[in-house]
Amino acid sequence: MRVSVIARSALGIFLILSTYVEAAGPQVDVFKSRTCSCCSKWVEHLRANGFTVNVKEVDSTAGYQRQYGVPQKLQSCHTAVVEGYVIEGHVPAADIQRLLKTRPAAKGLAVPGMPMGSPGMEGPRRQAYSVLLFNADGGVTVFQQYAGN
């Protein structure tokens, strides 16, 4: 009798913990400058969309961009890694989620520069911009386009 109470309690705790672990989204490691507020806003955007974010404040992101193979023409203000993919710049969470769901043979996604209206760069106007899918050999295709206003 007592064993079944303990077993049920243990099972209940296991179910609660497994639900919590499932609820936590993929972990994103972000390398950003200590002084960049737009990068912090992008991190908030990821967290608001279910990602678990580990922020590593660094003096320069250049070494991480080289380490993870981000082509110079695609570089932006922060570099992130999620489930083996590189995320460069202000990539919307929905595009990262789509990348993780479809798992294309690619190095990662990038939003070069810091376009107004992208996550973390919100304001009164929105520039048109593209989220680019890039390969290890430097090949680039448009993954998603966003209109300006």
Q: Give pLDDT, residue 107.
A: 98
The answer to whether residues 85 and 100 touch, using CB atoms and an 8 Å cutoff, is: yes
Q: Does 68 have pLDDT greater than 60?
A: yes
pTM equals 0.83
Over residues 46-67, mean pLDDT: 96
Residues 6 or more apart whose Cβ sits within 8 Å of residue 20: none
pLDDT in tens, 91-147: 999 999 999 999 999 999 999 999 999 999 999 999 999 999 999 998 999 999 999
The domains located in the chain, with CATH, are 25-146 (3.40.30.10)
